[in-house]
Amino acid sequence: MTYTIVGVTGHIDHGKTTLVAALSGVDTDSHPEEKRRGITIDLGFADFSIGEHQFALIDAPGHQRYIGNLLSGVSRVHIGLLLVAADQGIQAQTIEHAAILAAMGVEHLVVVISRCDLVAESRIEELSEELVFFLSESGFDHFPVLPISAKTGQGLDELKCALVERALPVGSSETEVGVRLPIDRAFRVEGRGWVAAGTLWSGQISVGDTLTLARTGEKLRVRGIEQHGTAVEQSAVRRRTAVNVVGNSGDLFRGDEFLSPGAAVASQRVVVQARSFAESPELRLPIDVQLHSATTSCTARLLSCERRGRGEMTQGQDCVVILECTQPIVMTSRQLVLLRLPYPIGSFAGGRLIGDLEFLRTHRLPRASIGRRGLRLGASEISESEFCEKLSSCSASDTVFSSQHASVWLAQLGEVNLADESGTLAHLAAFYQQPQQEIVEAFGSLTDAEKALAIGSSVTTLQFVEKVSRWQTHLLATERQHQQKLWLSRSSVVQHCEGYCSTGVAEFALRRAVKSGDFVMVGDQVAIASDETKLSKRQLARLEELVSSIQGLTAPPSGKELSAQLNCQPKELEALAKFAIHQGRLTQVASDLFFDPNALGALIEKIVRRIGDATATVSELREATELTRKHAVPLMEYCDRQSITIRTGNDRRLGPQGIRIAESNARC
């Protein structure tokens, strides 16, 4: 058993609708305007069977003005039926329709010379030779040319045999996953709601299923399904399908699509591997064009990948271009598109979608920056034009997402989290129509071949890690220049990398810079390696002794006592203390007195609580902090300098900084 969709095309008034009626018994010109003018304006649909072979006919309009309607109908047909009237020969729309069928990837072509009863046999032979020559230049070969008269019935049996020979067995389907139904016809039925019809590109639809309307994101329930006027419970891939849906808040239109999760992606900025037609004029880019893909059409800006979108497009040229669309288009990798200009040029190029640049803008790790004139570090290792060219190269050699694709995407994204199933992996799986596991394996093969680094659940490149290190270096240098801080805590450096890379990659870059000698790490503190931040092993040991001697104490030893305790000279102690202060591990309260910052903070909390909204004397504050005069007096003077307290005679009240601390405590 076979089921085949046939697109009937050709110049206006060459007998397409008459032939469809002769094959199926259905007059597809149902629109009043079509009856009045005697031409097909919109798509017509009919079906007929020959034994076990069922054919769905799509009667496409031939007039140049209604070419958009034709494109909605032939977006996924298996056989293209091209009609040429014997008494008129090859016309303008014959040429354009042939180019469209080739560009839209129609597998089989059957050429019909209609109205053969009106001309001599010699004219039919002459026209047949012209068609073979003309269509071979359009990329078609091995196609039958059949003289037919719908009026007398001549040649109809031969045409039916040609269709049967090219029929597609039921069950033959694309490897795409998920439901995708581009809509080429939509109308409202009183009491039933909206009915949308189209060719089911992938997946299966059953009554009761929930589908997503791509344009709005609304969830719609399938109330009923029909195929060629017969109600069914389930529709299979590649069949003409009409679904009755409920749940949409607005109207449905041609160009809308029904999807299941992961069936496709939507984008307004795409990369296309294009080929201009042999008869198309030379075009200067950028230029506004009409984009047709699936059943959708919209205006788009056509740009070259280079020179800020400027370039040329010549006859028969293969090129990679960028399309900036006025609306999101639903897309998958290698989906066919057609590009048109207003009459008299018409269709001038076809191509395949190979990349989504909008996804890169929204999901690529953002640029890092510091300050108005700070460092800008894009995640990508290659330019946008290089990305497009490399995508074109690997798309030409591989029809599935391969390690080549993974390498190109990783160079643009900088880092991919292989454990995040909802982000990059989900997008690539939907775009390339492959299971996420295969996408993960493609990225994993890069680490196996030592072309990428595996850091935690992420995969990245050495070049990206080096960019992260440059960002961290700039961060430390900026803090030193503007904040007079030589040291930052390790956690602070890593936190500043959020939004640019993962924590794992930030930590890896930090460790790598320390190992290479670019950074110095003492305890939890990090600094750029310099004479001010480098210490010998002996000095590092002494530094740790100094910090340990003070850590946690609310009444630490004086500088003189520490020198004796550590058996070091006062100048060496002063240098080590200064080093620890830069790191934030000690706070200098007086010339000869250093505190652990945490212990100092606890003492200040006690002082703030004791004073409150009133005042307090040194004796009262000594009692609150449980300190002797040796430590209490320098501590009070430190609080005065820091505006934590304000001294008036023997009393102290809270200063601006003390008030802020009190308010913060109250909120907590």
* Model confidence band, residue 43 (pLDDT cutoffs 50, 70, 90): low
User: CATH classification of 2-165 is 3.40.50.300, yes or no?
Assistant: yes
pLDDT at residue 444, as a whole number = 93
Burial of 248-258, coded b for 16+ CB within 10 Å and e otherwise, reads beeebebbbbb
Using a pLDDT cut of 70, give the percent of the chain over it.
Answer: 90
- Most confident segment among 62-66, 260-264, 521-525: 260-264
C-alpha to C-alpha distance for 113 and 111, rounded to whole angstroms = 7
Residue type, 220: L
Distance of CA 299 to the CA centre of its chain: 21
User: What sign results for the dihedral spanned by CA atoms 341, 345, 347, 353?
Assistant: negative
pLDDT at residue 135, as a whole number = 87
C-alpha to C-alpha distance for 368 and 376, rounded to whole angstroms = 6
Place of tokens 């307090």: 616
Q: Which CATH architecture has domain 537-667?
A: Orthogonal Bundle (1.10)
Does the pLDDT value for residue 539 go beyond 80? no
pLDDT at residue 63, as a whole number = 44
Does the pLDDT value for residue 194 go beyond 60? yes
**Of 2 and 309, more confident:** 2
C-alpha to C-alpha distance for 244 and 194, rounded to whole angstroms = 6
Burial of 301-338, coded b for 16+ CB within 10 Å and e otherwise, reads bbbbbbeebebebeeeeebbbbbbbeebbbbbbbbbbb
Q: Identify the CATH number of the domain defined by range 464-528.
A: 1.10.10
Does the pLDDT value for residue 73 go beyond 50? no
* Model confidence band, residue 536 (pLDDT cutoffs 50, 70, 90): confident
Contact 82, 98 (CB under 8 A): yes
Residue type, 362: T
**Of 74 and 127, more confident:** 127
Q: What is the mean pLDDT of residues 186-198?
A: 89
Instruction: Return the beta strands (E) in 519-592 as ranges.
Output: 519-522, 525-528, 587-590
* Model confidence band, residue 665 (pLDDT cutoffs 50, 70, 90): confident
Domains 180-259 and 265-361 share a fold: yes
Does the pLDDT value for residue 650 go beyond 50? yes
Contact 55, 49 (CB under 8 A): yes
Burial of 147-184, coded b for 16+ CB within 10 Å and e otherwise, reads bbbbeeeebbeebeebbeebbbebeeeeebbbbbbbbb
pLDDT at residue 136, as a whole number = 84
Does the pLDDT value for residue 436 go beyond 80? yes
Does the pLDDT value for residue 443 go beyond 50? yes
479-535 residue pLDDT tens: 877 767 778 889 999 998 888 899 999 999 999 998 888 888 877 888 888 767 777
pLDDT at residue 71, as a whole number = 54
Q: Which CATH number fits domain 265-361: 1.10.8.60, 2.40.30.10, 3.40.190.10, 3.20.170.30?
A: 2.40.30.10
Does the pLDDT value for residue 65 go beyond 80? no
Residue boundaries of the structural domains of the chain: 2-165, 180-259, 265-361, 382-453, 464-528, 537-667
Does the pLDDT value for residue 268 go beyond 90? yes
Does the pLDDT value for residue 294 go beyond 90? no
Of 142-151, 281-290, 307-316, the one with minimum mean pLDDT is 307-316
Does the pLDDT value for residue 659 go beyond 50? yes
**Of 152 and 367, more confident:** 152
Q: What is the mean pLDDT of residues 246-259?
A: 91
Does the pLDDT value for residue 368 go beyond 60? no
Q: Which two tokens stand for residue 117?
A: 């009863």
* Model confidence band, residue 42 (pLDDT cutoffs 50, 70, 90): very low
pLDDT at residue 5, as a whole number = 85
Of 241-245, 370-374, 402-406, the one with minimum mean pLDDT is 370-374
Half-sphere exposure in the Cβ direction for 198 (13 Å, CA): 29
pLDDT at residue 74, as a whole number = 52
* Model confidence band, residue 353 (pLDDT cutoffs 50, 70, 90): very high
pLDDT at residue 219, as a whole number = 94
Q: What is the mean pLDDT of residues 188-206?
A: 89
Instruction: Compute CA distances 444 → 407, 417, 500, whole Å.
Output: 10, 11, 22
- Compute the mean pLDDT over every residue in the chain, rounded to the nearest whole number: 85
Q: Where are the alpha helices (DSSP H) in 146-199?
A: 156-165
Does the pLDDT value for residue 374 go beyond 50? no
C-alpha to C-alpha distance for 491 and 497, rounded to whole angstroms = 10
Does the pLDDT value for residue 37 go beyond 50? no
* Model confidence band, residue 655 (pLDDT cutoffs 50, 70, 90): very high
Contact 402, 442 (CB under 8 A): yes
User: By C-alpha distance, which of 83, 66, 82 is closest to 31?
Assistant: 66
User: By C-alpha distance, which of 467, 583, 464 is closest to 520?
Assistant: 583
Q: What is the mean pLDDT of residues 535-559?
A: 88
Q: What is the 3-state secondary structure (H, E, C) of 469-522?
A: HHHHHHHHHHHHHHHCCCCEEHHHHHHCCCCCCCHHHHHHHHHHHHHHCCEEEE
Q: Identify the CATH number of the domain defined by range 180-259.
A: 2.40.30.10
